[in-house]
């Protein structure tokens, strides 16, 4: 199966196991082949998950943990909490496999969807129990510290604006800009058409830009 | 899908390829004022993303996951050994309960049909039981005695069911 076909076709488990693993640290258009997994492992992976085979579990973790963690970090921006959530996603994979409710086609799709649900649950709880922010100490006049504080303030405004978006808008931006998914991959993940993703992306960015503007005026 | 949504996507692809925001919006002067802030927002959220996952995080959580899997395997072995005797026992109890219920129902039915006469609803039950009794009686002498006993009932003589 050609790389181009892999990118634009609906991603299935056999596709994942047969496709080349990309280096997600690079922009999407510049991703390069890192390694391949043979297709005859597909049955082995599903059986291995149910049997709690440590080799299979380790392989799945190695392939997908970074992406899940990056997704969660993008949505939450608290790395400690993000690590807990990302870890929990993989435990849920094991539990679901035991109960025959695990992924039937795409492990990656299942993991990202579960991560999205876990993040949404966390954010719902968080907004019900708001916590007081610790006050920053007074800055001195050192220009590098001032620059860093400005940068932190910008990030704070950006993250605050991002959290004002709907869960679906946050999810689309996280997939498109956090993980570098193409429109087609994002559409597959959200089970929507490509045009719907373009519209969602547009509304998300428009809303984000509005929120950033309001945040800067405060 | 509106034209602006498609233009936004085209501009994002150009920026991904290395173009600046200004170079891109210059291609669409009519929409520049609308596109520029959206593209700036897109760049901001793109820069929010983490590119490198710390290796210590990867290692720590891998060990944790494999440990969790080992615990689940252990728990499953304990459940499997317990179910070796529990499941058959449960099946035996259910089967015996059903049989006891059927037996009790049947016994009550037979008892209720014992005093019935032709025309009663349970009379066929009584007749069937009598026929079964005759059938299972192997000894020919005993069978003759039984048939005679069953035949010596006034209501049967009327119907001529067992009469000679």
A45-99 pLDDT tens trace: 878 888 899 999 999 999 999 999 999 999 997 889 999 999 999 999 999 988 8
B164 or A131, higher pLDDT: A131
> Residue B13 has what pLDDT?
92
Tell me the chain A residues in contact with residue B76 when contact means C-beta distances shorter than 8 Å.
Answer: 52, 98
pLDDT tops 80 at residue A210: yes
Q: Hey, is the C-beta of A151 within 8 angstroms of any chain B C-beta?
A: no
Identity of the highest mean pLDDT range in A131-145, B1-15, B39-53: B1-15
Q: Please give the structure tokens belonging to residue A185.
A: 């991959």
CA B132 from chain centre, in angstroms, equals: 42
CB neighbours (10 Å) of residue B141? 8
pLDDT tops 80 at residue A196: yes
CB A78 within 8 A of CB A57: no
> Residue A49 has what pLDDT?
86
% of chain A with per-residue pLDDT over 90: 47
Site from B4, B19, B45, B56 to mutate, A interface, most A CB atoms within 10 angstroms: B45
Whole-model pTM: value is: 0.64
* Alpha-carbon gap: A112 to the closest alpha carbon of chain B (Å): 16
CB A61 within 8 A of CB B62: yes
Which residues lie below 8 Å from residue A156, measured CB to CB, with a gap of 6+? none
List A residues 30-49 in contact with B (Cβ-Cβ < 8 A): none
Q: Are strands A20-22 and A33-36 parallel, antiparallel or unpaired?
A: antiparallel
- Distances, alpha carbon A195 to alpha carbons A183, B64, B152, in Å: 9, 41, 92
Tell me the chain A residues in contact with residue B37 when contact means C-beta distances shorter than 8 Å.
Answer: 209
Residue for token pair 């005859």: A40
What is the complex's ipTM, to 2 decimals? Answer: 0.70
Tell me the chain A residues in contact with residue B60 when contact means C-beta distances shorter than 8 Å.
Answer: 83
Site from A82, A173, A210 to mutate, B interface, most B CB atoms within 10 angstroms: A173
- Burial pattern A109-146, b for ≥16 Cβ within 10 A else e, equals bbbbbbbbebbeebeeeeeeeeeeeeeeeeeeeeeeee
pLDDT tens digit sequence for B27-50:
999 999 999 999 999 998 888 776
pLDDT band, very low/low/confident/very high, at A20 (cuts 50, 70, 90):
very low
> Residue B82 has what pLDDT?
66
> Residue B131 has what pLDDT?
85
Which residues lie below 8 Å from residue B50, measured CB to CB, with a gap of 6+? A70, A73, A74, A178
CB B19 within 8 A of CB A132: no
CB-CB under 8 Å, A70 with B50: yes
Tell me the chain B residues in contact with residue A52 when contact means C-beta distances shorter than 8 Å.
Answer: 69-70, 72-73, 76
């Amino acid at each position: 199966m050609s790389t181009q076909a892999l990118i634009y076709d609906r991603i299935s488990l056999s596709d994942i196991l047969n496709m080349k693993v990309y280096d997600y640290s690079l922009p999407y258009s510049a991703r390069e082949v890192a390694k391949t997994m043979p297709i005859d492992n597909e049955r082995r992976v599903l059986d291995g998950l149910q049997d709690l085979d440590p080799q299979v579990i380790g392989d799945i973790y190695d392939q997908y943990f970074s992406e899940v963690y990056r997704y969660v970090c993008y949505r939450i921006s608290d790395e400690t909490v993000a690590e807990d959530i990302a870890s929990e996603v993989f435990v849920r994979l094991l539990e679901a496999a035991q109960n025959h409710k695990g992924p039937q086609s795409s492990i990656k799709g299942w993991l990202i969807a579960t991560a999205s649900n876990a993040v949404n649950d966390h954010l719902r709880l968080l907004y019900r129990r708001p916590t007081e922010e610790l006050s920053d100490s007074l800055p001195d006049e050192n220009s590098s510290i001032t620059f860093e504080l400005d940068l932190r303030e910008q990030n704070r405004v950006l993250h605050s604006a991002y959290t004002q978006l709907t869960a679906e808008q946050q999810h689309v931006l996280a997939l498109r800009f956090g993980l570098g998914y193409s429109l087609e991959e994002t559409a597959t993940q959200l089970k929507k058409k490509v045009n719907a993703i373009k519209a969602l992306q547009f509304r998300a960015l428009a809303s984000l830009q509005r929120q950033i503007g309001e945040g800067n005026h405060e | 899908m509106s034209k602006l949504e498609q233009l936004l996507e085209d501009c994002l692809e150009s920026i991904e390829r290395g173009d600046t925001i200004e170079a891109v919006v210059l291609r669409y002067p009519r929409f520049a004022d609308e596109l520029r802030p959206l593209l700036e927002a897109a760049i901001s959220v793109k820069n929010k993303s983490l590119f490198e996952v710390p290796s210590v995080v990867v290692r720590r959580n891998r060990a944790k996951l494999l440990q969790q899997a080992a615990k689940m395997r252990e728990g499953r072995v304990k459940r499997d050994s317990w179910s070796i005797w529990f499941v058959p026992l449960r099946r035996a109890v259910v089967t015996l309960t059903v049989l006891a219920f059927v037996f009790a129902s049947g016994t009550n039915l037979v008892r209720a049909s014992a005093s019935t006469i032709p025309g009663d609803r349970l009379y066929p039950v009584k007749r069937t039981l009598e026929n079964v009794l005759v059938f299972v009686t192997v000894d020919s002498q005993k069978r003759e005695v039984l048939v005679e006993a069953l035949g010596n009932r006034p209501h049967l003589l009327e119907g001529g069911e067992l009469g000679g």
